[in-house]
Amino acid sequence: MPSNKSVSDAPITQFINCRILRDNELQREDLWVREGRILDPEKLFFDEQGYADKRVDCGGSIIAPGFIDVQINGGYGIDFSQASEDVSDGVSFVAKKILEHGVTSFCPTLVTSPPEVYHKVLPQVKVHDGGPHGAGVLGFHLEGPFISAEKKGAHPEKYLRTFKSGGLEHLMEVYGSLDDVAIVTLAPELPGSQSVVRELSQRGITVSLGHSAADLSQAEEAVQQGASFITHLFNAMLPFHHRDPGIVGLLTSDRIPAGRVVYYGMIADGIHTNPAALRIAHRAHPSGLVLVTDAITAMGLPPGRHTLGQQVIEIQGLHAYVAGTKTLSGSIATMDMCVRHFKQVSGCSVQEALEAASLHPAQLLGISPKKGKLDYGSDADLVLLDEGLNVKATYISGEEETGPPVPLYMIDMSGF
C-alpha cells in the first residue's frame, strides 16, 4: 500500500542513489515525488505509512532543480520576434527542444520590434506550466524597444523608442498587453523611465536595466524604483570606470534598498564575456549571478545565415554576428554548456554553478521555492547530471489545465 487513500492514491516515485541540491549543498539523499511535487518522505512514512511505488536508480547522478532561462530569443530555426501566425507553435517547439539542455522553464524573449509585432505575438503565448510537451513558459521577456540608441547592440535602430509623456500608457500602446510579460528590459537614463520602472514593478513585472548608457546613480535610482535585474552584464552598457562604474557598479552599490537583491544575467558562453570579467562579477556579487543563454534562432542549427528579429545574422563556429559586422548578435550556447563553462572559468563549486541556473533565476522572478529548489512542496522539475555536469535526463511534471495530474515525464539523454 504505497499511498494512503485518504490522503492521496497518486503514484510515488523515489529517486535513489543520487546526490541532490538542497539547502545550498549537494546531499546524499533520496528524492521523492508525488503529483508533480517534491514529497516529504518522513511525513509519508509516519502520517500515511506510505512508501514508493516506483524507484529510479540514478546511478550516482546529481539531481538539480530544472534550469530556468530568462533570456532566450529562439532556437532551432524559430525566432520568437518574427510576427507569424503560429508563434505559439514556435515557442512550443523550442520549449520541447530545450528540455534536452536541462531547461524546464523559460522566458521567451522578444528583441526590439515595431508595435505590430508585439500586438501580434504577445496574445498568442500564455504563461503555462511545463509538461511532456516541453518546458514551462514563465512569461515574455521584452528586451526593448525602450533602450539606448548608443547601446543598441544588434537591435534595429529604427524601432527604438523613448517614453513620451504618460510613460506607462505609451508603453502599453507599444506592447499592447502586459498580461503574460515577466520581464521588461529598458534603459533607465531615458526621460520618463523612472515612473515606468515603478509602475511595472508594482504590477509584479521584473524590470531589468540593459542596452543602456546610464551612469551608476541613474541605475541606482531605477533600482530604488523597483528594478531588480541587469540584462547581460557588461554587454551593451558603459564599461566599468573607477570614477563611475555605471550599471556594473550595482553589483557592489550601497544604495540598494534593504532586503533587496540586484540580480544580473551573464552569458557564460566563453565569447560574450572574458573569463576574467566573469570572475570579477562573480566574486563581487556571487548570489546575484543568473546564467542566461540569450540564445538566438541559430542555436541548434548549422553554420550560415539566419534571421533574428528584423535583421540577418551569420554563424561562424561558436560566434553569431550581425551579418557583415563584428557585432555579437546573441549566443548559440545551450544552458548546460553555460553551466559547465561558468563552473570551469570561475572555479566555483558544483552547487554554485547549478544555483546560478536554477535558484537565482527563480528568486529573480519571485517564483522560488515553487521553482528553482528541491524543497518539500517545490515543483518536481528536475535535471539529472553526471559529474561533468552533462545532462543525463530531464524530468518535468505539471498539471494540464483540463486534465488529470500528469505523471513525471522523463527525457532520457543517454543517447546523447
Partner 1 sequence: MRLVILDDYDLASEWAAKYIRNRIVQFKPSADRFFTLGLPTGSTPYGCYQKLIEYYRHGDISFKYVKTFNMDEYVGLPRAHPESYHSYMWNNFFKHIDIDPANAHILDGNAQNLEEECQAYEQKIAEAGGIELFVGGIGPDGHIAFNEPGSSLVSRTRVKTLAKDTIVANARFFGNDLSKVPTMALTVGVGTVMDAKEVMILITGAHKAFALYKAIEEGVNHMWTVSAFQQHPRTIFVCDEDATLELRVKTVKYFKGLMHVHNKLVDPVLSIKDQ
Tell me if residue 294 is catalytic: yes
Residue 36 Cβ vs partner 1, minimum distance, rounded to whole Å: 22
| 45 lies in the site for partner 1, by CB under 8 A | yes
Q: Work out whether 30 is an interface residue with partner 1 (CB under 8 A).
A: yes
Stated length of the chain: 416
Asked if residue 4 lies in contact with residue 12, where contact means CB atoms within 8 angstroms, the answer is no
Question: Which cell is 220 given?
Answer: 541606482
Query: Which of 36, 50, 226, 398 touches partner 1 by CB under 8 A?
Result: 50
Q: Which of 23, 43, 166, 260 binds partner 1 (CB under 8 A)?
A: 43
Identify which range of 40-48, 113-121, 297-305, 360-368 contacts partner 1 by CB under 8 A: 40-48
Closest to 107 (Cα-Cα) out of 78, 141, 74, 77: 141
Q: Which three cell numbers mark 28?
A: 546524499
Query: What grid cell was written down for 334?
Result: 545551450
Among 9, 23, 25, 42, binds partner 1 (CB under 8 A): 42
Q: How far apart are the first and last CA of the chain?
A: 37
Question: Do residues 144 and 211 make contact, with C-beta atoms less than 8 angstroms apart?
Answer: yes
330 is in an annotated binding site: yes
Given 294, 336, 379, 381, the catalytic residue: 294
Tell me: does residue 51 bind partner 1 (CB under 8 A): yes
Annotated binding residue at 73? no
Can you tell me the distance from the alpha carbon of 233 to that of 211, in angstroms, rounded to the nearest whole number?
10
Give CA–CA dist 53/257, Å, rounded. Answer: 48
* Distance in Å, CB of 46 to partner 1, minimum: 6
Cell of 296: 538566438
Segment lying near partner 1 (by CB under 8 A), choices 44-52, 79-87, 329-337, 381-389: 44-52
Stretch that binds partner 1, among 41-49, 74-82, 227-235, 312-320 (CB under 8 A): 41-49
Q: Of the candidates 24, 27, 49, 327, which one interacts with partner 1 according to CB under 8 A?
A: 49
DSSP string, 92-104: HHHHHHGGGGTEE
Please give the positions annotated as active site: 294
Contact residues toward partner 1 (CB under 8 A) are: 1, 30, 41-46, 48-51
